[in-house]
Amino acid sequence: MREIRASEWKNHTVQLGEDARFEKDHVFEQLGLDHIAAVRVETGGVTIDLNGAVLDGRNLHGYGIYLRDCDGVTIKNGTIRGFFYGIVAENCSSLTLENLIVSENYDNPGAGWLHETEAPDYSGLGGGMLLKGVTRSKVERCTLTKQFNGLDLILCSDISVRDVDCSHNSNFGLHLLSTHRSRIERSRMDHCLRYSANAHDRLGGCDAAGILIEQGSHHNRFIGNSAVHSGDGIFVRGNNLVRSCHNIFEGNDCSYSPHNAIEDGFGIGNQYLGNICSHSDYGFWVFDTYESLLLENKVEGNVRDGIAMRYGRGNHLVRNTVRRNGRAGMRIWWEPHEKLGGEPSSHYFLLGNTVTHNGQGVVVEKSQAITLSANRVERNGESDADNLVVKDSDVRIS
């Protein structure tokens, strides 16, 4: 095993092709340079034990540790700060990243509302960890806070993220871009937002989010996470109309967002099971989704609508508790949109929901084949007429 001592540390890249252990609890400073790493791992099957040491890039450039085309590498037990990214891994498999503090790397809290382009950014915007083209790997018991992005998973598959703190980042806590079959559980992505002088940005948190899923990220599971006080709690984004499909979100708390507790744009077959989406501007904001399932979610005390679903087809809302939202408890509607066709929202099924004490109960506008069955919709608005409001729609009650 190679011993890395502070007295031998110099301002150039350390190449590692064998197991290595850093001198215990020392600070290793290295002035970061763009796209240059303080430590570069050159072979697979090795363990890098930081042993309580700190790698400090000081100027928010370069990478703390860089891996490429490596399998079976473990990095553990230390702190990495002051770089553009703390750890970057490309085209690797079977990585283990554990017991690490990768915080206080590059940040841009004054970025405002980022420009939405048709082509996604696969290069990464800076922060804690960037995994790109990585498969069958795990990130466990790590802290990734106080930077732009906490953890970026780009073009990855079969990643396990467990007991990770991605809170207090100014853009995204966790970001999945074209990433599949990954499991995120028991992790925190709280207080991920930023503001600017623009009034709209102050309201919406500049589209920052605790968890962002985009660009065809499919078959992922998010279980028992916290994403409270973030721009959006969970955001499934489809800016260029590329849908992210068949993801499962279960038992997450996404409350206290200045924008949407959960936003899903253009998803197909996504399932939201037993989440808490309360005390935000909207509980759910769902846009042009197909065959989504909202089951047994708690949606209470939001400023505007509890569940707002615009466009879409074949969505099911089942046994949700929707109470004390300022405008509608549930709202389903259609209106013209320059990028979408002219078909109305249709074939929604609302079954066994409790919708009470909202500004209005269930509002349906310009939608077809909407079925309501065994719902408890009462004590909404000022009269019984506010419990169910139907405009230019085909609603069936059974």
How far is Cα 326 from Cα 30, in angstroms, rounded to an integer?
53
Structure tokens at 123: 């290069």
Give the pLDDT mean for 355-384. Answer: 98
pLDDT of residue 241: 84
Structure tokens at 22: 């850093």
pLDDT of residue 381: 96
Residues with Cβ < 8 Å from 105, sequence gap 6 or more? 57, 60, 64, 80, 81, 82, 83, 84, 85, 86, 126, 127, 128, 147, 148
pLDDT tens for residues 201-214? Answer: 445 566 899 999 99
pLDDT of residue 13: 85
Percent of all residues in the chain with a pLDDT value above 70, rounded to a whole number = 93
Percent of all residues in the chain with a pLDDT value above 90, rounded to a whole number = 84
pLDDT tens for residues 119-138? Answer: 677 889 999 999 999 999 99
CA dihedral 36, 38, 39, 42 (to 10 degrees): 20
pLDDT of residue 341: 64
How far is Cα 118 from Cα 124, in angstroms, rounded to an integer?
16
- Extended strands (E) in 215-311: 221-223, 232-237, 248-250, 260-265, 271-273, 282-287, 293-295, 298-300, 307-310
**In 3D, which of 205, 213, 203 has the Cα closest to residue 181?**
213
Residue 178: pLDDT band (50, 70, 90) is very high
Give the pLDDT mean for 41-66. Answer: 96
pTM to 2 decimal places: 0.96
Q: Choose the most confident range, by mean pLDDT, from 45-49, 108-112, 339-343.
A: 45-49
pLDDT of residue 380: 98
State yes or no: pLDDT of 115 exceeds 90: no
**In 3D, which of 362, 359, 309 has the Cα closest to residue 334?**
309
pLDDT tens for residues 290-349? Answer: 999 999 999 999 999 999 999 999 999 999 999 999 999 999 999 877 666 667 899 999
State yes or no: pLDDT of 103 exceeds 80: yes
Give the pLDDT mean for 270-296. Answer: 98
Buried b (16+ CB within 10 A) or exposed e, 187-202: bbbbbbbbbeeeeebe
Q: Which of 98-112, 161-175, 213-227 has the lowest mean pLDDT?
A: 98-112
Residue 118: pLDDT band (50, 70, 90) is low
The overall average pLDDT reported for the chain is: 93
Residue 35: pLDDT band (50, 70, 90) is confident
Give the pLDDT mean for 224-248. Answer: 95
Give the pLDDT mean for 36-62. Answer: 95
Side-chain half-sphere CA neighbours of 231 within 13 A? 29
Structure tokens at 21: 């252990």
Q: What is the distance of C-alpha 172 from the center of its chain?
A: 7
How far is Cα 7 from Cα 9, in angstroms, rounded to an integer?
6
pLDDT of residue 11: 72
Sequence letter at residue 236: V
Residue 113: pLDDT band (50, 70, 90) is low
User: Any idea which fold 2-397 has?
Assistant: Pectate Lyase C-like (2.160.20)
pLDDT of residue 202: 45
How far is Cα 360 from Cα 388, in angstroms, rounded to an integer?
7
How far is Cα 107 from Cα 116, in angstroms, rounded to an integer?
19
Q: Which residue has the higher pLDDT, 121 or 229?
A: 229
Residue 200: pLDDT band (50, 70, 90) is very low
